Amino acid sequence: MTFGSCFLYAKKILFSRSIQVSEPTAARRSLLGAVICIGISLVPLVSVISISKGMFRGIAERMIYLFSQDISVSLQKNSVHADSYGSFLRASAEFLNAPGITAVFPEVRGTVLAAGNGVRAGAFVRGIQEEAFLQDRQFSSLLTVTEGAFDLAGGRKAVIGEKIAGMLGVHAGDTIHLISAAKSGNAYIPKAAQFTVSGIVSSGYQELDALWVFIPLETAFSSISRPSLEFFVGLQTADPFSDSLPAIAAGVRQIAMNSEGFRVFTWKEFNAAELENFASTEALLVVIMAMILLVASINISSSIVMIVMERKKEIALLKCVGGSSRGIALSFVLTGAAAGLLGILLGIPVSLAVSLNINSIVRAIETAVAFFSGGSMEGRFHLLDPAYYLQEIPVVIPLREILAVCAGTFVLSVCASVVPSVRAGREKPIDTLRKM
């Protein structure tokens, strides 16, 4: 049998009824069910890959642009470059000379006690330059001002995270106190500074910005006790996801070696624990979804077995007129491959539609749960808790991964059909014809 004749017989198996029956049989329905199962199993697999890629990219961008920057340079507290606001700025400006660095953002950070309206809560204070919000476009694009304005001009203003604002019960225009501890001998003396809340912001990812309190960089040097502060210089490049980032970091380290107390980290090194957690979670989800696809592909094997049993007389007649065992086996393998291909053509468009509209689907589910539970729109059920996930999922369609999934599904379909197809080719026509 030529490949063309094998292809024609596979087409007949898929789209024509057996010579023994005039209606669709259980075998044909089983093959159709296998196609549908493959299509359905592809929906969660591709959706998980696309959504997890989007979640990872969205969270990574917030980690980079809102916290660690592309490259982070830390400065020891006892360094001469951290003695004053002016010396810290001059030391930070030196890193602009490193190849590949496009912008420098000096910053001090520390843990303090925030007090407002009789309530106290731990806070993570960040002293930044007043113009940083306007100069750093990525920073400003990822922060949403929910109340007031991002205004640090005037020295004694603060912009705080949405969650800590709710914990303290403060709004734009209210006053808060930041309390830090200064050591004097063996005792700790509290140091308090008063600030006016000019704005309340959110990055859409509470785990990152829940306790943030932004204050002017120069004011942080005089208002927060020195033992409570850590000194950082954020360095921006053209693309934090570029393969050239380690080489740029190496150039920064060369400059840092000329001064004491500097340590240099790329954003992947700075956020290594979080990135490892995301990667392991994504891998686990993909493995689970792939196992579902594997089970769906095995349905093709059982369908081929049923079709072979249904078409034993056809196989016997084909062998009597010169059909080879290899050609008949190839025909059934092509049938299984075609079933897998049809499942791919069914599942991929649905998967992409689900991925691209995932935010609308999530909102619809939340609305439906709130409606049937009789709850109010405020404080309602959240499918994605904003304390742990992004409030809006930035979907990424990874073409390379999707093509790999399609190729893997096709290979699984072929492999699942090989054993029953080989058995079909080994059928002895004389035994079948005797029973006719």
User: Are 226 and 191 in contact, with CB atoms under 8 Å apart?
Assistant: no
pLDDT of residue 432: 59
**For every one of its 436 residues, what pLDDT tens digit does the chain have, with 9 covering 90 and above?**
677 777 787 777 777 655 444 455 677 778 888 888 888 888 888 888 888 888 888 888 888 888 888 999 988 877 788 888 888 888 888 888 889 999 899 999 999 999 988 899 999 999 998 877 777 778 888 888 899 998 888 778 999 998 899 999 999 999 999 998 876 667 678 888 999 999 999 887 777 788 899 999 999 988 888 888 889 999 999 888 888 999 999 988 888 876 667 888 998 888 888 788 777 877 887 788 778 778 777 888 888 888 878 777 777 777 777 777 788 888 888 888 888 899 899 989 999 998 888 888 888 887 887 777 765 545 556 666 665 566 677 778 888 888 888 888 888 888 888 888 888 777 776 665 666 5
Tokens of 241: 């996801």
What's the pTM?
0.71
By the 8 A CB rule, do 200 and 206 touch?
A: no
Question: Which tokens belong to 379?
Answer: 């404080």
Q: With contact defined as beta carbons under 8 Å apart, do 335 and 10 qualify? A: yes
Give CA–CA dist 352/350, Å, rounded.
5
CB 394 within 8 A of CB 58: yes
Q: Which amino acid is at 84?
A: S
Smallest CA-to-CA distance from 336 within 38, 2, 21 is with: 38
Q: How would you write the chain as a 3-class SS string?
A: CCHHHHHHHHHHHHHCCCCCCCCCCHHHHHHHHHHHHHHHHHHHHHHHHHHHHHHHHHHHHHHHHHHHCCEEEEECCCCHHHCCHHHHHHHHHHHHHCCCCCEEEEEEEEEEEEEECCEEEEEEEEEECCCHHHHCHHHHHHCEEEEECCCCCCCCEEEEEHHHHHHHCCCCCCEEEEEEEEEECCEEEEEEEEEEEEEEEECCCHHHHCCEEEEEHHHHHHHCCHHHEEEEEEEECCCCCCCCHHHHHHHHHHHHCCCCCEEEEEHHHHCHHHHHHHHHHHHHHHHHHHHHHHHHHHHHHHHHHHHHHHCHHHHHHHHHCCCCHHHHHHHHHHHHHHHHHHHHHHHHHHHHHHHHCHHHHHHHHHHHHHHHHCCCCCCCCCCCCCCCCCCCCCCCCCHHHHHHHHHHHHHHHHHHHHHHHHHHHCCCHHHHHHCC
Q: Are 225 and 34 in contact (CB under 8 A)?
A: no
CB 340 within 8 A of CB 436: no
Residue type, 206: Q
- Tell me how far apart the alpha carbons of residues 166 and 292 are, in angstroms, rounded to a whole number: 43
- The model's pLDDT over 129-182, given as tens digits with 9 standing for 90+, comes to 887 777 777 888 888 889 999 888 877 899 999 889 999 999 999 999 999 887
379: alpha, beta or left, given left = phi > 0 and alpha = psi -120 to 50?
left
Q: pLDDT of 93-104, one tens digit each?
A: 888 888 999 989
Question: By the 8 A CB rule, do 264 and 252 touch?
Answer: yes
- For residues 427 and 256, give the distance between their C-alpha atoms in angstroms, rounded to a whole number: 76
Query: Using CA atoms, how far apart are residues 357 and 380, in angstroms rounded to an integer?
Result: 21
Structure tokens at 103: 């912008």
Cα(4)–Cα(98) distance, integer angstroms: 64
Looking at residue 386, its pLDDT comes to: 60
Residues 110-148: b if buried by 16+ CB within 10 A, e if exposed: bebbbbbeeeebebbbbbbbbebbeebebbbebbebebb
Please report where in the chains the tokens 């059982």 appear, as a residue.
302
Q: What are phi and psi of 150, to 5 degrees?
A: -80, 85
In whole angstroms, how far apart are CA 34 and each of 296, 301, 342? 7, 9, 10
Which pair of structure tokens corresponds to residue 333? 């393998």
